[in-house]
Structure 1
Amino acid sequence: MRQEKNTLRAIIFTGLFAAIIFIGISLLRIPIPALVGRPFIHFGNSLTVLAILFLGGRNGALAGIIGLGGFDLLNGYAATSWLTALEVIVIALVVNTCFNLFQQNDRASHIVILGIVAGLMKIVTTYAVSIVEALMVGTSFKVALINSFLSLPATMINSISTAILVPILYFALRGSLQSVRRRA
């Protein structure tokens, strides 16, 4: 299904994944107390990685930016929505590059590795975003580093769920998406 062209089908699937990501982050949100930001547990990251795997790096990143960024804009996170977009771009680059290194072979072990890589990248990008958020409100750099590190529990849970859910959902959806593609 990995289409990079802007065909009508690719645009429709990009919009569909953006909507699914938005809904996935909106329906299940469990807030976690933190020193920096207002983190919460959600499925938006896992769904974004699936969009990247199914749609390719460019359209998957676009779906993630629209879904996660749209959520941010509509739910009080507008000031940092640009950081969300940067996170999605970095994760899309890493996941897409790793998938291409696997020669787009979707063996179970490759998809599990991609889920783990995506989860680890989410920890790195969220830590960097938390530092920027802390600096945006006037915190000193040293305090921003420490507080951002202490604010990672929600990210750790999201990362673990990404590593677990990506392979499960990928193989559950792969057949359906391939059958839709064959019919068209």
Structure 2
Amino acid sequence: MEKNLQTKKIHDLTILGLLIALVAVATMMIKVPVISTEGYIHLGDSMIFLSAIIFGRKKGAVAGGIGSAMADLLLGYTHWIIPTLIIKGIMGYVVGLISDGESEKLINIRNSLALVVGGIWMVFGYFIAGGIMKGSFIVSATSIPANLIQVFGGALLFIPIGVALKKTKYFNQYAINR
């Protein structure tokens, strides 16, 4: 019995490491700098959505927060590491909390709601963080359109990837651990 528990812990840690790496790599792979916010648009949100909806809120939070913060560190956006860790971690948790990862269909009302609420949180979180960092919420408001594009693009990319992965034996066997 103890060996099974130890194997499960190793398995969970391995999956978590892979999810963190997926978020970081997707964030770093294609980035479009946004001068006004000293940030960038990327596709990492798609992997946060994947982590949270398929693997649950805890893995979504850790993968979203650490993977995104790691990308900021490695890309030189060090001033965003702490806000990103918090904002993307909460985003992953909220998406996983709302989502219906146990449904056979990936596209359903709860998962769609999870994407919308997670996206709204991310846009709001970066608006607040930007306002504090820049000392102006008016300047921070310029980040809203870019962040909306990022969330929408992440959701659109998540859908075909998530649908394909949900059909595999591996994801059905190991995915949800809420």
Question: Normalised by the shorter chain, which TM-score bucket?
Answer: 0.7 to 0.9
Shift of 1:106: 5.4
* Residues 62-82 of structure 1, C-alpha deviations (whole Å, 9 max, x = no match): 122221111112222223311
- Scaled by the length of structure 2, the TM-score of the pair is 0.81
Shift of 1:167: 2.6
1:109 maps to 108
The residue identity in structure 1 corresponding to 2:155 is A
* Residues 26-79 of structure 1, C-alpha deviations (whole Å, 9 max, x = no match): 110111231xx3122211112112111222212221122221111112222223
* Residues 127-161 of structure 1, C-alpha deviations (whole Å, 9 max, x = no match): 11211221xxxx3xxxx111111232221210211
1:9 maps to 11
CA distance in 2, matches of 1:166, 1:24: 11
Shift of 1:12: 0.8
Shift of 1:83: 0.7
Distance 1:6 1:78, change over 3 A: farther
1:26 maps to 28
**Aligned partner of residue 24 in structure 1, secondary structure:** helix
Shift of 1:175: 2.0
Is the CA contact 1:10–1:55 (under 8 Å) kept in the aligned structure 2?
no
The residue identity in structure 1 corresponding to 2:151 is S
Does residue 148 (structure 1) correspond to residue 140 (structure 2)? The answer is: yes
The residue identity in structure 2 corresponding to 1:157 is I
Identical residues among aligned pairs (%): 22
Is the CA contact 1:118–1:162 (under 8 Å) kept in the aligned structure 2?
no
Distance 1:84 1:106, change over 3 A: farther
* Residues 90-136 of structure 1, C-alpha deviations (whole Å, 9 max, x = no match): 2133212212xx584353223333222222222111211211221xx
CA distance in 2, matches of 1:80, 1:97: 25
CA distance in 1, matches of 2:157, 2:115: 8
- Scaled by the length of structure 1, the TM-score of the pair is 0.78
Q: CA RMSD in A?
A: 2.4
The residue identity in structure 2 corresponding to 1:109 is N
Distance 1:167 1:106, change over 3 A: farther
Does residue 124 (structure 1) correspond to residue 127 (structure 2)? The answer is: no
Unaligned runs of 5+ in 2: 1-6
| Alignment coverage as a number of residue pairs | 166
Distance 1:67 1:93, change over 3 A: closer
Shift of 1:180: 6.1
Matches within 5 A, 1:64-83: 64-83=64-83
The residue identity in structure 1 corresponding to 2:126 is T
The residue identity in structure 1 corresponding to 2:30 is L
Distance 1:145 1:119, change over 3 A: same
